[in-house]
Amino acid sequence: MIVKNKYSGDQFIDLQDTNLVDAKTTLERAKKAFLEMKELPSFERYEALLRVSKELESRREEFARIIANEAGKPIKYSRGEARRASVTMLFSAEESKRIYGETIPMDVESRGKNRFAYYNRVPIGPVFAITPFNDPLNLVAHKVGPALAAGNSIVNKPASLTPYSGYKLNEVVNKSGLPENAMQTVIGPGGGEVTNYFLNSEEVKMVTFTGGVEAADRLIKKAGIKKYSMELGSNSPVIVWNDADLDFATDAIVDAAMESQGQNCIHSQRILIHTDVYNELSKRLVERVSKLKVGDPLDDSTDVGPMIAESEAVRVEKEVNYAVDQGAKLLIGGRREGRFYLPTLIEKVKHNLGLWHNEIFGPVSILQPVSNFEEAITMANDVPYGLQAGIYTNNLDIAMKAIQKLDFGAVLINDTSDFRVDVMPFGGMKLSGLGREGIRFAIEEMTEIKLAIFRK
């Protein structure tokens, strides 16, 4: 059922939890739809996904309000997400026409003489997707678009707190001209019997998941031998070197730290600042954070809205309070008001604490001085995650060394960790996930190689 933003007057229908009988029917439909999808010419998949993209764009404001109501994301950011979802489906349409194979030179050794080979990519089968609350439309599109572009059918289980965005996307897909039930949606809690049914089914050929590491571990143990694509979050650093343009860096860092209330897998959680500029940048960041407007997510001027649930705000509050009890110093924020946790900058956090090592998933960033390059790299890598990292410097040598030494799936130069264009390979090292998203790369994950060998 919908958990609506308390500010909202928008009325949505109630979405009832899917029961086990309906789940079985859903999977049967997904199997049937896959048989049609895999035979569908790529130009027809392209045309259908293009219609989805155009429909999302024409209804951008409607979808933005749904996102803001469900997730508490400020409306200006919700509009950005709605636009991104339209673009994600456009990219999916385009990539549906570019699923290539290649020839293999079999005569590289004597046993391959008189043989010719090529491979192509074929759809994997029914896909089960589990999507999170923080980008309740675009992160659904990131799984649905590539799955359909590749010729698969897909069943999506959106987060139970934000099911409506994905449900409405499903309505759009249903009217696109794709085979019936190419996309379906099931509603319910994570770890419930419906989720477990899809995980356990041998008919589900791939599970694509965005969420936490512990949930992913439980999921894999339940689902067994299948193909997986998993984006499991991070604890992202941004290094600011002593030659950085502080005017350029300040606004970007604050946006990366506080956008979507920090409920973002590439949220910039640890800001590692060269000692030469630490005091100056700290002052600038505090001043910039102090100007953020906290309030109604449907207000165009709001920068920071409520967290997804009060329990999440309480969790963040406990983490920060414990760090302060252990000697950390609050620079700004550090206070909860119901579902709101005020934008927070904190320094002198001990490196053995959860606030340093774990993903906070809230509007909190740590400021940490570093005196040399080796110290900055060691601190940046000192977490079990490795999704994205940023570094601000005008020194090409420093930038190239950072790319080489930072253990992250992406290293951004003169930018924060919080940047993504939806065509790029998105994913991380260590506990940050398995595989890569980004339309072309997701299609590779959602297809299998079939090799043909001819003997002359």
Catalytic residue among 70, 81, 231, 359: 231
pLDDT at 4 over 60: no
Catalytic residue among 265, 319, 437, 444: 265
Distance CA 211, CA 49 (A): 26
> Is domain 20-232+432-455 given the CATH code 3.40.50.2300 in the classification?
no
Q: Tell me, what amino acid is at 264? A: N
Instruction: Compute how many other C-beta atoms are within 10 angstroms of the C-beta atom of residue 310.
Output: 14
**Portions of the chain given CATH number 3.40.605.10:** 20-232+432-455
Distance CA 406, CA 451 (A): 37
Q: What percent of the chain has pLDDT over 90?
A: 95
Give the pLDDT mean for 155-179: 96
Nearest to 168 by CA among 261, 38, 70: 70
Give tens-digit pLDDT for 272-282.
Answer: 999 999 999 99
**What phi, psi does 372 have (nearest 5°)?**
-150, 170
Which tokens sit at 292?
Answer: 């953020």
**Which one is predicted more confidently, 1 or 425?**
425
Q: Are 205 and 227 in contact (CB under 8 A)?
A: yes
Give tens-digit pLDDT for 371-388.
Answer: 999 999 999 999 999 999
Mention every residue, 6+ apart, whose C-beta is less than 8 A from residue 347.
Answer: 282, 328, 329, 331, 366, 367, 368
Nearest to 332 by CA among 263, 239, 257, 228: 257
Name the strand (E) or helix (H) holding 227: strand 227-231
Average pLDDT of the chain, as a whole number: 96
Note if 193 is an active site residue: no
Alpha-carbon distance values, 195 to 18, 46, 106, 434 (Å): 10, 30, 44, 20
Q: pLDDT category, 14, cuts 50, 70, 90? A: confident
Note if 61 is an active site residue: no
**Among the four given CATH numbers 3.40.309.10, 3.40.640.10, 3.40.50.360, 3.10.20.30, the one describing domain 236-421:** 3.40.309.10
Q: Are 257 and 417 in contact (CB under 8 A)?
A: no
Q: Tell me what pLDDT residue 412 has.
A: 98
**Portions of the chain given CATH number 3.40.309.10:** 236-421
pLDDT at 167 over 90: yes
Helix (H, G, I), strand (E, B) or coil at 337: strand
